[in-house]
């Protein structure tokens, strides 16, 4: 059914809603001044059965009714209340004011000569006054909260608990959606009415969609497990409804969000895996009361590490970041978090590149850093594939220089954030990350005081450049959604879960350890795209449904991209104190051999020799099997130039040199 309302009422209510506050208060006062005496007159008329009230000189009783009601209403804030947000406090004020008025009128009527009014009329007056004063205000509230806009979405709220009731109230106030019913799994609630909305079973949802024009489902289940929310999403998915959810209770309780701030379904709900509770001892071991530094502090993983580290109360947290904007944003966010939660952590924001060893060493020594989480890296496979030299510099040499600085500054723990792409890599990014692991394994052989360890995991949901935000953006633009291959699969983990496990794994390292996180079951990317389309209220356009909303386009695997990723090079893996963290026993190289390759690599990079650099990667990372030619954009351009063009470029450079330097040396004056 579709609500309709006469236009003149709509215009009148809109006009009233936009009156100044002082005018609204005056209007309420005038309504009570006129209405309360009329209500009393009506009560007396009903009691006597006639409009002719005998007994002259009793007109004062109407003034007395006003004087006993209105001041109490004013004292209790009824005229200051915002009509749209009236609640239990307003009801209490109305009942108190009217009841007090009746009691005083009863006393006056009883003792006043010639009985001004019959005492038996006062109960009638009491009930009528409650209906008039309270009812009129709640009718106006309902009209003000009603929305006639055709664009207002009709929604059902899944969850009739406290969060659901708050959500329904907030939605009515905001006017963003029009809630028409609750859905709840509890059979004890089904069939009841809560906050004016009937509660249905989940089986009734298809009927509500077809009969009531429901366009969206809002999940009010902040305390439910991810596994249960995924089950609910799977049940809703075939209906192609927009599905949104209320924020987590943690955000609500901290004041960072309100219940009515509905948002897109959390990417973690798509996985349906509940995070394992952290081991508090493992979390604290490398952080509590220590000086901690995070490199790449402004990145997706680095920033989440910082958020979790701050709550573990280190003495100082050093944010090391080469991007000025990213550093500014994470510093501001962390300082706001510290202030809101009453923490006592000293946050230090430092610009710098981990490739600059002396800069890193100076920082480590001056601040007395005890733990480093090295998250600074280039991680996007196609970009690194097209910028081989910079990828090697940032992923290998930055790690080496930062680790050498840590050795010389006698840092206690150095944790490298690695990736599943380091296993049997087919691309430069994966090969450089595995090379970085080998560097740290080699350095561990030289170290007597610094523990080096690596934590390897797969893709993180919602990180910059990951598929989830990309798909969401493409869907909002109307498609198409681009997937490289219909069979490509990836491991996924939420950013907070990955960061939490990294912190715990770092505490278990004995030196040279490679830790692997349990990523659960891999996800088919094409299936993820289809689910996201359905849960945003749209349908997939394909051969079976040519009239669908969003098309999925398969673009083909990108250069050096794999259909699936692995987490282990071999099968030699053991468990740890944490059920989701495994220790991989993988081969390493002696330091003198690693040192020689690093020297050769440095020479190749200085000559911009991508061919030699890739050969050295293959020599060091035995599992690295490139799937094609070198993709570096500058290298490819250089190779494509003809011999004549190269000669012209050289001649031009020589000519510039000659122009800048006279043949007989500088001229003296």
Tokens of 239: 């209906």
Average pLDDT of 180-192? Answer: 86
Instruction: Report the alpha-carbon distance of residue 606 to residue 397 in Å, rounded.
Output: 13
**φ, ψ of residue 355 in degrees (nearest 5):** -70, -20
In order, the DSSP letters of 110-141 are: HHSTT-SS-TTHHHHHHHHHHHHHHHHHHHHH
Average pLDDT over residues 411-432: 92
Using a pLDDT cut of 70, give the percent of the chain over it. 80
Specify the pLDDT at position 413.
95
Residues 401-412 have a mean pLDDT of 96
- Other CB atoms closer than 10 Å to residue 272's CB: what's the count? 18
Span 170-197, mean pLDDT? 79
Q: How far apart are CA 477 and CA 479, in angstroms?
A: 6
Percent of the chain at pLDDT exceeding 90: 28
**Which residues, listed in sequence order, are joined to residue 602 by a DSSP beta bridge?**
none
Residue 132: what pLDDT?
84
- Cα–Cα distance for residue pair 221/160, rounded to 1 Å: 9
CA dihedral 364, 368, 372, 378 (to 10 degrees): -20
Considering 66-75, 112-121, 279-288, 568-577, the range whose residues carry the highest mean pLDDT is 279-288
Q: What is the mean pLDDT of residues 109-119?
A: 67
Confidence class for position 151, pLDDT limits 50, 70, 90: very low
Kindly indicate the confidence band of residue 1, based on its pLDDT and cuts at 50, 70 and 90: very low
435 vs 164, higher pLDDT: 435
Q: How high does pLDDT run on average in the chain?
A: 81
What confidence tier does 638 reach under pLDDT thresholds 50, 70, 90? confident
Q: What is the C-alpha separation between 433 and 421, in angstroms, rounded?
A: 8
Give me the pLDDT at residue 273, please. Answer: 62
pLDDT (0 to 100) of residue 177 = 75
Q: How far is CA 1 from CA 174, 179, 180, 239, 586, in A?
A: 22, 13, 11, 20, 66
Whether the Cβ atoms of residue 232 and residue 201 lie closer than 8 Å to each other: no
Report the pLDDT value the prediction gives residue 663, as an integer from 0 to 100.
Answer: 43
What pLDDT sits at residue 653? 46
Most trustworthy range by pLDDT among 12-26, 46-60, 438-452: 438-452
Backbone angles phi, psi at 74, to 5 degrees: -65, -40
pLDDT at site 641: 77
Residue of 465, 460, 355 whose CA lies nearest to 418: 460
Cα–Cα dist 641/636, whole Å: 9
Phi (first) and psi of residue 90, to 5 degrees = -65, -40
Tokens 């680095």: give the residue: 302
User: pLDDT at position 248, please?
Assistant: 62
Task: Quote the pLDDT of residue 140.
Answer: 73
- From 173, 166, 223, select the one nearest 195 (Cα to Cα): 166
- Which is more confident, 661 or 337? 337
Looking only at the bridges linking them, the beta strands covering 263-264 and 242-245 are antiparallel
Q: Name the residue with higher pLDDT: 428 or 642.
A: 428
Angle in degrees, 0-180, between the axes of helices 610-620 and 591-606, rounded to the nearest 10: 170
Instruction: Point out the least confidently predicted range of 61-70, 322-331, 428-437.
Output: 61-70
Query: Does the pLDDT value for residue 149 go beyond 50?
Result: no
pLDDT of 150 higher than 60: no
Q: Is the pLDDT of residue 134 over 90?
A: no
pLDDT in tens, 512-566: 888 887 777 778 888 888 888 887 778 888 888 888 888 999 988 776 666 766 6
**Catalytic positions:** 421
The confidence band for 17, taking pLDDT boundaries of 50, 70 and 90, is low
Residue 667 pLDDT: 43
Residue 433 has pLDDT above 70, yes or no: yes
Of the candidate ranges 25-39, 130-144, 243-257, the one whose mean pLDDT is the lowest: 243-257
Nearest to 287 by CA among 313, 305, 320: 313
Cβ atoms of 489 and 524 within 8 Å: the answer is yes
**Of 60-64, 184-188, 609-613, the least confident:** 60-64
Q: What is the mean pLDDT of residues 405-430?
A: 92
> Among 242, 255, 313, 262, which Cα is nearest to 284's?
313
Q: Which residues pair with 584 in a beta bridge?
A: 514, 573
When comparing pLDDT for 425 and 255, which is higher? 425
Given a cut of 60, is residue 100 above it in pLDDT?
A: yes
pLDDT of 568 higher than 60: no
The Cα–Cα gap between 522 and 247 comes to 26
pLDDT, tens digit, for every residue of 438-468? 999 999 999 989 999 999 887 776 665 677 7
CB atoms within 10 A of CB 203: 10
Among the listed residues 495, 536, 462, the one whose alpha carbon sits nearest the alpha carbon of residue 375:
495
Q: What does the block give as tokens for 256?
A: 């960072």
Quote the longest CA-to-CA distance of the chain.
131
CB burial of residue 501 (10 Å; 0-12, 13-18, 19+): buried
pLDDT at 19 over 90: no
Question: Cis ω on the peptide bond leading into residue 480 (within 30° of 0)?
Answer: yes
pLDDT score recorded for residue 146: 57
Alpha carbons 629 and 626: distance in angstroms, whole number: 8
Of 480, 481, 517, 513, nearest in space to 499 by CA: 517
**DSSP one-letter code for 479:** -
**Which span out of 222-236, 274-288, 337-351 was modeled with the highest average pLDDT?**
337-351
State yes or no: pLDDT of 291 exceeds 80: yes
**Which stretch, 60-69, 393-402, 470-479, 517-526, has highest mean pLDDT?**
393-402
């Amino acid at each position: 059914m579709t609500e309709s309302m006469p236009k003149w009422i709509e215009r009148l209510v809109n006009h009233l809603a936009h009156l100044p506050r002082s005018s609204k208060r005056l209007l309420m006062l005038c309504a009570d001044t006129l209405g309360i005496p009329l209500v009393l007159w009506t009560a007396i008329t009903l009691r006597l059965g006639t409009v002719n009230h005998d007994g002259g000189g009793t007109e004062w009783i109407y003034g007395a009714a006003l004087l006993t009601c209105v001041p109490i209403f004013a004292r209790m804030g009824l005229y200051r209340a915002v009509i749209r947000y009236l609640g239990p406090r307003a009801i209490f004020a109305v009942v108190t004011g009217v009841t007090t008025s009746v009691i005083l009128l009863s006393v006056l009527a009883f003792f006043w000569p010639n009985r001004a009014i019959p005492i038996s009329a006062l109960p009638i007056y009491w009930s009528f006054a409650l209906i008039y004063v309270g009812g009129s205000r709640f009718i106006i509230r309902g009209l003000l909260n009603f929305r006639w806009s055709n664009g207002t979405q009709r929604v059902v709220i899944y969850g009739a608990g406290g969060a659901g009731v708050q959500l329904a109230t907030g939605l009515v106030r905001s006017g963003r959606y029009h809630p028409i019913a609750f859905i709840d799994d509890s059979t004890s609630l089904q069939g009841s009415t809560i906050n004016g909305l009937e509660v249905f079973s989940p089986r009734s949802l298809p009927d509500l969609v077809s009969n009531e024009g429901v366009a969206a489902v809002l999940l009010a289940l902040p305390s439910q497990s991810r596994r249960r929310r995924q089950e609910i999403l799977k049940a809703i998915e075939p209906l192609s409804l927009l599905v949104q959810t209320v924020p987590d209770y943690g955000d609500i309780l901290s004041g960072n969000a309100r219940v009515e701030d509905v948002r897109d379904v959390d990417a973690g709900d798509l996985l349906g895996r509940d995070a394992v509770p952290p081991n508090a001892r493992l979390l604290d071991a490398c952080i509590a009361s220590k000086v901690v530094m995070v490199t790449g502090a402004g990145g997706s993983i680095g920033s989440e590490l910082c958020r979790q580290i701050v709550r573990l109360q280190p003495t100082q947290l050093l944010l090391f970041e080469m991007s000025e904007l990213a550093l500014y944003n994470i510093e501001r966010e962390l300082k706001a978090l510290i202030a809101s939660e009453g923490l006592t952590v000293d946050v230090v924001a430092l610009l710098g590149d981990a490739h600059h060893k002396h800069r890193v060493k100076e920082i480590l020594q001056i601040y007395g850093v005890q733990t480093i989480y090295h998250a600074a890296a280039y991680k996007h496979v196609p970009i690194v594939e097209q910028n081989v030299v910079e990828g090697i510099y940032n992923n290998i040499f930055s790690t080496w220089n930062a680790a050498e600085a840590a050795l010389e500054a006698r840092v206690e723990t150095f944790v490298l954030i690695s990736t599943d792409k380091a296993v049997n890599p087919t691309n430069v990014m994966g090969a450089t990350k595995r090379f970085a692991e080998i560097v740290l394994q080699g350095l561990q052989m030289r170290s007597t005081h610094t523990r080096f360890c690596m934590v390897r995991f797969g893709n993180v949901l919602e990180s910059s450049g990951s598929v989830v935000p990309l798909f969401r953006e493409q869907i909002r633009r109307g498609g198409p959604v681009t997937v490289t291959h219909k069979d490509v699969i990836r491991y996924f983990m939420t950013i907070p879960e990955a960061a939490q496990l990294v912190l715990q794994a770092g505490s278990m390292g004995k030196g040279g350890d490679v830790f692997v996180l349990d990523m659960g079951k891999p996800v088919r990317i094409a299936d993820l795209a289809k689910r996201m389309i359905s849960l945003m209220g749209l349908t997939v356009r394909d051969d079976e449904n040519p009239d669908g909303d969003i098309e999925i386009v398969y673009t083909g695997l990108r250069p050096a991209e794999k259909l699936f990723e692995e987490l282990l090079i071999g099968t030699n893996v053991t468990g740890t104190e944490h059920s989701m963290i495994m220790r991989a026993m993988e081969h390493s190289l002696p330091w003198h051999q690693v040192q020689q390759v690093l020297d050769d690599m440095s020479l190749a990079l200085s000559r911009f020799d991508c061919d030699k650099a890739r050969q050295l990667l293959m020599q060091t990372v035995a599992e690295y099997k490139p799937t094609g030619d070198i993709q570096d954009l500058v290298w490819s351009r250089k190779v494509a130039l003809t011999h004549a063009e190269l000669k012209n470029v050289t001649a031009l450079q020589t000519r510039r040199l000659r122009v800048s330097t006279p043949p007989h040396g500088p001229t003296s004056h």
